[in-house]
Amino acid sequence: MKKTVLLVLVSLCFIVSFSAAAEEVTIDFWHAMGGHNLEVVNTLVEEFNSSHDQVEVKAQYTGSYNDTLTKTQSAVQTGTAPHIIQIYEIGTQMMLDSGIIMPIEDLGKEVAGDNSFDWDKFLVPVSNYYTIDGKLNSMPFNSSTP
């Protein structure tokens, strides 16, 4: 059975840096950025889409982090999960434990076909925060304070 691949707290450019696809790719991206942050995300997606002919990102605001996590879990059950999600750390661990997501380090190897991506390009304190048992599981998208 093909494992549903979801990324948590992602950088959209990461995926495209590995993509050499000759055909158009659509990436569904669910996020929890409301208010002014929603405008910023929409602008980032528009800029990304306008500069990448072969890739279209469809961003969808799905409510709070908890709402996004719940919707993603339901979507996995029905086979309609997005390619990328943006959730919080607790959600990341829950999804890793349930086998719903693929660690981003594994995705990099799968998409690139080898170990050519240089993970050392990330700031060590940042990558360490998202590394469990020596494997980078997710990437930061934003940093929030209550």
Residue 101 has pLDDT above 50, yes or no: yes
Per-residue pLDDT of 10-40, as tens digits, reads: 344 444 444 554 588 999 999 999 999 999 9
* The residue to which tokens 């072969």 are assigned: 54
Percent of the chain surpassing pLDDT 90: 42
Q: How many CB atoms lie within 10 A of CB 20?
A: 9
Percent of the chain surpassing pLDDT 70: 79
> Residue 7 — pLDDT band, cuts 50, 70, 90?
very low
Q: What is the pLDDT of residue 113?
A: 67
Structural domains of the chain, with CATH? 7-136 (3.40.190.10)
> Residue 112 — pLDDT band, cuts 50, 70, 90?
low
Buried b (16+ CB within 10 A) or exposed e, 85-115: bbbbeebbeebbeeebbbbbbebbeebeeee
> Residue 145 — pLDDT band, cuts 50, 70, 90?
low
